[in-house]
Amino acid sequence: MSEPGPKSPPLINLSNSILSGGNFTQNNQIYNVRNGERAGFARLLENAAPNALYDSGHLVDPPKCHPNTRTAIIQTVIDWSSGTIADEEMNAKAILWLKGGAGAGKSAIARSVAERASEEGLLLGTFFFGAGDATRNHVGGLVATLTYQLCTILPEFRDAVTTSIEDDPLIFSRSLSTQFTTLLIRPLAIMFANHSGSTQIPRLVIIDGLDECSANIDSQQDLLFTLQEVTSSTSLIRFLVCSRPESHLNSAFSSPRMATISYKIFLDDDYSAQKDIELYLEDKIREIKEGHPFKHKLPSMWPGPGGIWHLASKSSGQFIYAATVVRYIQSPRHRPNQRLDAILNLRPPFKDLPFTELDALYRHIIFKAEDPSTVLDILGFPLLYGKFEVSYLEKILQLEEGDVEVMLADLQSLVTIYCETTAFHPEIKVELLHKSLGDFLSSGKNQEIQVGTMIGYHITP
């Protein structure tokens, strides 16, 4: 008869005890005493990026769509995420790329979709990249942030994920693919293996501002290819990706591995914003006329016949332009009609320039190009003459054939290059997408913006 082995120590009774820190094991589970959470979940929280949530409190006024605007695109995304959209081709795709020019309102649409999807039980998680925020301008916290949201939406998911992290405490230093597999795909597959189908499964993940992931181009493409791997291994997740149409992202989405599983929506082509911007401006002008401190000083017919239409037209589909106009003219320290006249160049501008935010966006995009000086020379032609034939432009600037398209590859959110068929032969032309970009280039208020210096002209206000 063998001798009995050493007895296991009894479980600790903590009813009258205080522990001041560290980890302890109880019933084979590791707890972090400092915050009362299991150590695995505490580690998850350490690696998550709270500012990347769609409803994060770090933004005082996060952009969302104005009521009764962008309804068509929002409904399209909701129907696609739930698998009820009538378009069979779109329904078969697991990744939806919503792309649009600078200021087109992509983030506002993404937040509105997230809010609606959350209300309808369709949302798994969101991650909003932001170039100026060190906690969310890289992919490091992406999977941890999504996993945290799943733990709050699906409580039964939490224990499985927590155990996985405790089994591999270095999981967040591994590749994105490994993190997705370990923390999302496997736990979800196990959880829904016996799903009865009687309740709606949340399946939408929103990744906004991919072009603002500041690591590098390769990192952004690698993330897309990781999403492709995720969707090929599970049907439980659908990704909405929002970004500007940068050349490297266009290339990635056009690759064979992405083309078969992704669907593209270009806001500038598929969903005209003109009417929505007019509605937005009408509502805001009405609020100003009813509640501004100097409302009694406003002309009775302000802003006059066609005033709102003119502003919407100048927006060129940019909600950021319309929002900037509204913020400027509703200043409580000025008369709204005088501020609007300044925007329309009917009077000298005030000291505080109205389009600082928009100018900063244009400057950021232009100076990300490899050769900003030549890019500015190129932009001078469509600025002065409207759409301009690329072949003539290259001859004038003494560039090699194809140089214009290469140099403008990172400016596809600001310009368009397209083929126009004429009576003689097809012509490749370049055109500015936004009227406000022309105002920015020709305003003369930016010393570094010298348009057209190579061919002997200089744009002045």
Read off the tokens for 283.
């509502």
Read off the tokens for 336.
């709204």
The SS3 call for residue 124 is strand
Contact 319, 103 (CB under 8 A): yes
What is the spatial distance between Cα 363 and Cα 244, in angstroms, rounded to a whole number? 15
Complete DSSP assignment for 285-347: HHHHHHH-TTGGGS-TTTT-TTHHHHHHHHHTT-HHHHHHHHHHHT-TTS-HHHHHHHHTTSS
What is the spatial distance between Cα 20 and Cα 174, in angstroms, rounded to a whole number? 32
- Number of other CB atoms surrounding residue 395 within 10 Å: 11
pLDDT confidence of residue 27: 46
pLDDT confidence of residue 148: 96
Q: Is the bond into 303 cis (omega within 30 degrees of 0)?
A: yes
The SS3 call for residue 36 is coil
Read off the tokens for 94.
């697991």
pLDDT confidence of residue 11: 42
What is the spatial distance between Cα 145 and Cα 242, in angstroms, rounded to a whole number? 18
pLDDT confidence of residue 57: 82
Tell me, yes or no, if the two domains 48-191+199-270 and 359-455 fold the same way. no
Question: Can you give the residue ranges of every domain in the chain?
Answer: 11-36, 48-191+199-270, 274-354, 359-455
Spell out the CATH class of 359-455: mainly alpha
pLDDT confidence of residue 139: 93
What is the spatial distance between Cα 199 and Cα 153, in angstroms, rounded to a whole number? 14
The helix (run of H) or strand (run of E) holding residue 222 is helix 217-233
Nearest CA to 459 out of 381, 395, 393 is that of 381
Beta bridge partners of 428: 419
For residue 27, what is the DSSP state?
A: T
pLDDT tens for the chain, 461 residues: list them. Answer: 444 444 444 444 444 444 444 554 444 455 554 456 788 999 999 999 999 999 988 775 667 888 888 999 999 999 999 999 999 999 999 999 999 887 788 999 999 999 999 999 999 999 999 888 889 999 999 999 999 999 998 888 898 899 999 999 999 999 999 999 999 998 888 877 765 555 567 899 999 999 888 767 788 999 999 999 999 988 889 999 999 888 889 899 999 999 999 999 988 654 567 889 999 999 999 999 999 999 999 998 999 888 898 888 888 788 888 888 898 899 898 899 998 888 877 677 677 767 777 787 788 788 878 888 899 999 999 998 888 999 999 999 999 999 999 899 878 778 888 887 766 678 899 988 877 888 888 875 554 555 554 334 433 33
Buried b vs exposed e over 447-460: b needs ≥16 C-beta within 10 Å? eebbbbebeeeebe
pLDDT confidence of residue 25: 47
Contact 444, 382 (CB under 8 A): no
Task: Give residue 151's identity as a one-letter amino acid code.
Answer: C
What is the spatial distance between Cα 279 and Cα 319, in angstroms, rounded to a whole number? 11
Contact 50, 64 (CB under 8 A): no
What is the spatial distance between Cα 203 and Cα 183, in angstroms, rounded to a whole number? 15
What is the spatial distance between Cα 429 and Cα 433, in angstroms, rounded to a whole number? 12
Q: Estimate to the nearest angstrom the gap between the alpha carbon of 220 and the chain centroid.
A: 13
pTM strictly above 0.85: no
Distance set, CA 250 to CA 211, 244, 253, 264, 375 (Å): 11, 9, 5, 10, 20
Contact 104, 268 (CB under 8 A): yes
Helices then strands, each counted (H, E), the chain: 21, 11
pLDDT confidence of residue 441: 86
> 48-191+199-270: which CATH topology?
Rossmann fold (3.40.50)
Work out the angle at residue 436's Cα, subtended by the Cα atoms of residues 449 and 254, and round it to the nearest 5 degrees.
90
What is the spatial distance between Cα 125 and Cα 145, in angstroms, rounded to a whole number? 8
